[in-house]
Structure 1
Amino acid sequence: MAIRTSLALSILLLCSPAIAQQTQDHDLTELKQQLELLKQQVAILEQKLQAPSKQQVKTIKVLSLDSDDTSSASQLAEIEQIIAEHGAADQNNTLIIQTVAADTPEPESTDGINLGGAIRTNYSHTSYSDGNKNRGGDFAFDIFRLNLNGSVGDVTLNAEIRFFDYMTAVKSAYVGYGFSDNWQVLAGITQVPFGNWPYNSHNYFFSSNYYLGLEDDYDLGIMFKRAIADNWQLDLGFFKNDELGGVDGYVGSRSDRYSYDIVGSRLPADGIYDDPAQPLGEYNTFSGRFGYHFSHNDINTEVGVSGLAGGLHDGTRRAGDYYAWAAHLNSTYDRWNLQLQYTQYKYQVDNSNSIAVGAYAFYDSIAAEATSATANIAYSLPLAWGPVSGIQFYNDFSLIYDKSDNTANTMMNVTGFSVAAGGLFTYFDLVHARNQPFVGGSMAGDDSETERRFNINIGYYF
């Protein structure tokens, strides 16, 4: 498929020490003057180019020109070469790199819809299945997915559909329009703005918040997004109902979905995994996320707060309310990344301390009220080893506690690494968890034993 020219804001790296020799000072002064001229060209290019998707952005090393350290002649030559081949500078003399796919001609028009996707397979070896252990683990098909993204005129499109052995699910499907330099409106099945964005995790299993519907959740509605400007950004959304049409949506099963949503309240006779006897659905939900960005030395940080609130409907009348809020931090230093998040949520439903949720053709139960804490750290290592271009090592920790149904805490710790190699992207995860879905438990479980799952997910992305 066609790969478009993209502009990417790159990672800031300090040059080695400020220039000591007079000739180098002269070279740097001339270089800064050239950068000012190139800045004007970049401003024109930015107006013509579409914002790239996450998979289209390529990172190139960038050297800051505002260093108090001594730069060698070779470093100056490297900066000049980067400028000549790729980019320009912004008002802070930071290089902005323009990446162009090799051997790809410049399209005459930016209009068009690109088709992409992925095929993934999965290997797992678990402590909670005797059969799995006796077989030495199981290797199985995971998903085939298709992605559409692009634009016609000033209107953009983004959609993703996933095909599993046991269900088909639309993850996202929305159109977007930028009505000012900083603001964009999205309408359709979009990600609910909440918490660390876009993910509060680095591993294949996300954090435990995902299984509460509080990470990478998609619903049907409209969202207004403010790009980062003056160090802050804002996302505001109104979601009419979940992605399957709410409590009485015309679907075969309300659990056939990608992201977790409430599907009912648990009655005393219900089992943890039962189809709920009392259906419920989210509706008229307002969500907002504010993030403030700042830098100190080499540390780039976002701190923010999120909140959402909406109603619960039983198909006939309003049956309750729900809300959640979070404080979050996402900080990067050199190759290190730190994510912290504190979250509280509450479903207010008469005579029920337990709520039914659904996803992946599977029903589960969660406490009607609980608190969550997550702490994640990762280290990214760029490589040039055959097709391998990078490895990220990580440890992600989640804890769900203070549950209103008085069940035991949910804990999950994932230690692992991901490998990027051409079109392949692979997760290697060692998971230890208690009362965690897909690791031998349930959010409404009451087990004190820690289970283990070793998982390899191999995906080819095109």
Structure 2
Amino acid sequence: MNKHRLLSIAMAATFATPLFAQAVEISAEELATLKAQISALQTRLAEIEAQAELTTSSVAINSQALTEKQATVAPVKEKSKDGITVGGAVRTNYSHTSYSEGNKDRGGDFDFDIFRLNLRGEIGDVSLNGEIRFFDYMTAIKYAYVGYQFSENWQVNAGVTKVPFGNSPYNSNNYFFSANYYLGLEDDFDLGVVFKRNVAEHWQLDLGFFKNDELGGIDGYVDNRSDRYSYDIVGARTAGEGIYDEPGQALGEYNTFSGRYAYHFEQGELSTEVGVSVLSGGLHDGDSRAGDYDAWALHANSQYQNWHLQLQHSQYRYDIDNVEQVAVGAYSFYDTIAAEATSTTLNIAYDMAVNFGAVTGLQFYNNYGVVYDKSDATANTVMNVTGVSVAAGGLFTYFDWVHAKNQPFVGGSAVGDSGDYEQRLNINVGYYF
């Protein structure tokens, strides 16, 4: 029995009870009139009930029809427009060091770091990514490549693109990267082609072939082979050369194959990627093949809630007859590394979201790395960086305390023999747009 019928009965009872109670006092004609009115009222209530049921049914039918119509119309995804966007950054740098008496006497130095431009976008399903960096002392292309997604799982990038090797995208959290960067084993870019594939939900495979380094190899048309962003071999160190000299015997890498294979898994709130990387290529002196080089690494990258942990163990080797040291170049600066060495890095970091004015995020970190078992028997290179990065609108700032020995840009060289540690307080402030 529905609520409308209950209403009709209740109303009829309400009217009927007092009327029948007074039946002895009214005439038969008046009683008949009242009964007729009650009957009419009940009939009207029945009509209202029927109308309500019809309206409810109609609304339900119309709602169902609307739902079915919406279900049959496929959502229309608006195709993104072709175009290239421009971004970039301006960065400045403050440093206070233990190894420069002049720097300490001045209370540190504040310098312009870089102005950079980034290009990114897509025209006709072919993407473009590029970055050019302007320093006071050089201009360098970090990367410049085109990409194409030619199947559901396969993507190809061609140009000055990243060599797939080690923890990705970086094996560090700080401004100075890890010790691997100065060996050419972190954030390295060369001229070639990279195929990327997500083999399955948990697997990733990157395969690369690089014809030569980003400056064209041994006979690239450049004035200074050290005017580059990432570290590469530029020559062999011969007797009598200084560790910062331009090499007398020029060398360049060519025909390098690189592969990175990683597996990702999750256990509750713990997310981990483990992988292996290898690379192998040739060295050329301009006339003929002068040697070979290769490297491999085991790496792991984990996150638990706001905590991050990175591990990497790497080995590299430049196989050149009678050569124990090779010259490398970057940032318009020549340096020297052992022809063969091993490195191990360990990084820990913690993310913190904050709401302090414009500051929205902090990351605290400690990055440790050591390069050892060097073929030239020089002392270990050690670098530990403790710091915090701060995100505030378009500003991103690194506050780093570096404690290192035999480390480039921290008062030493990768082939130094110092037993003393040097320190560097470094603050790098960048505005990104």
By how many angstroms is 1:269 displaced?
A: 1.4
SS at structure 2 position matched to 1:252: coil
Give the corresponding residue for 1:226.
197
Please give the per-residue CA displacement for 1:218-261, whole angstroms capped at 9, x wherever unaligned.
Answer: 00000001137321000000000000000111101000000000
Residue equivalent to 2:104: 133
- In structure 2, the partner of 1:419 is 390
Q: What is the correspondence of 1:297-316 to structure 2 with a 5 Å cutoff? A: 297-316=268-287
Alignment counterpart, residue 386 of structure 1, candidates 339, 354, 357 = 357
CA–CA separation in structure 2 for the residues paired with 1:312 and 1:41: 56
Distance 1:389 1:316 in 2: 55
* Alpha-carbon distance, 1:389 to partner: 1.1
> What CA distance in whole angstroms lies between the structure 1 residues aligned with 2:376 and 2:131?
36
Q: How many percent identity over aligned positions?
A: 70
Query: Does 1:178 pair with 2:149?
Result: yes
* 1:249 aligned residue: 220
Map residues 183-222 of structure 1 onto 2, 5 A cutoff. Answer: 183-222=154-193
Measure, in 1, the Cα distance between the counterparts of 2:320 and 2:415: 17
Aligned mate of 1:395, from 347, 353, 366: 366
Q: Give a deviation string over 1:176-206, Cα, whole Å, max 9, x none.
A: 0001111100000001000000100000000
Q: Which residue of 1 aligns with 2:260?
A: 289
For residues 356 and 272 of structure 1, what CA distance do their matches in structure 2 show?
Answer: 8
Amino acid at match of 1:424: L
Q: 1:434 aligns with which of 381, 384, 405?
A: 405
Identify which of 77, 81, 85 aligns with 1:114.
85
Shift of 1:109: 4.0
1:258 paired with 2:229, answer yes
Deviations 1:131-174 (A, max 9, x none): 00000000000000000000001000000000000000000000
> C-alpha separation between the residues in 1 aligned to 2:136 and 2:367?
29
The corresponding residue for 1:336 is 307
Where do 1:439-450 residues align within 5 Å?
Answer: 439-450=410-421
CA–CA distance in structure 2, aligned partners of residues 419 and 453 of structure 1: 19
Matched residue type, 2:314: T
Structure-2 separation of matches of 1:313 and 1:109: 45
Q: TM-score, normalised by structure 2?
A: 0.82
Q: Distance in 2 between matches of 1:110 and 1:433?
A: 49
| Structure 1: distance between partners of 2:239 and 2:250 | 14
Counterpart for residue 275 of structure 1:
246
- Cα distance in 1 for partners of 2:218, 2:325 equals 17
Q: Does 1:374 align with 2:345?
A: yes
In the alignment, is residue 451 of structure 1 matched against residue 422 of structure 2? yes
Describe the SS at the equivalent of 1:133.
helix
| Aligned counterparts of 2:302 and 2:199: Cα–Cα separation in 1 | 16
For residue 373 of structure 1, what is the amino acid of its counterpart?
T
Q: Secondary structure at the match of 2:182?
A: helix
Secondary structure of residue in 2 paired with 1:247: helix
Moved over 4 A (4+): none
Unaligned runs of 5+ in 2: 1-69
Deviations 1:343-380 (A, max 9, x none): 00000001110000000000000000000000000000
Distance 1:419 1:228, change over 3 A: farther
CA distance in 2, matches of 1:41, 1:296: 36
Aligned residues: 363
Q: Distance in 2 between matches of 1:358 and 1:319?
A: 19
* SS of structure 2 residue aligned to 1:132: helix
Q: Secondary structure at the match of 1:162?
A: strand
- SS of 2:102 mapped into structure 1: helix
Q: Bigger radius of gyration, 1 or 2?
A: 2
Structure 1 position 352 matched with structure 2 position 323: yes
**Residue of structure 1 in register with 2:120 after alignment:** 149
Structure 1 segment 28-67 matched on structure 2, within 5 A:
none
Provide the rounded CA distance (Å) in 1 between the counterparts of 2:424 and 2:124.
48
Report the CA distance between 1:110 and its aligned residue: 2.4
> Which letter maps to 1:174?
Y
Matches within 5 A, 1:67-78: none
User: Does the residue aligned with 2:218 lie in a helix, a strand or coil?
Assistant: coil
Alpha-carbon deviations, 1:57-81, whole Å to 9, x = none?
xxxxxxxxxxxxxxxxxxxxxxxxx
Aligned to 2:63: none
Letter in 1 for 2:101: D
RMSD: 1.6
Match of 2:133 in 1: 162
Structure 2 residue matching 1:380: 3-state secondary structure: strand
Q: Deviation digits for residues 44-101 of structure 1, max 9, x if unmatched?
A: 85xx6xxxxxxxxxxxxxxxxxxxxxxxxxxxxxxxxxxxxxxxxxxxxxxxxxxxxx
Q: Distance in 1 between matches of 2:239 and 2:389?
A: 43
> Quick one: distance in 1 between partners of 2:135 and 2:167?
28
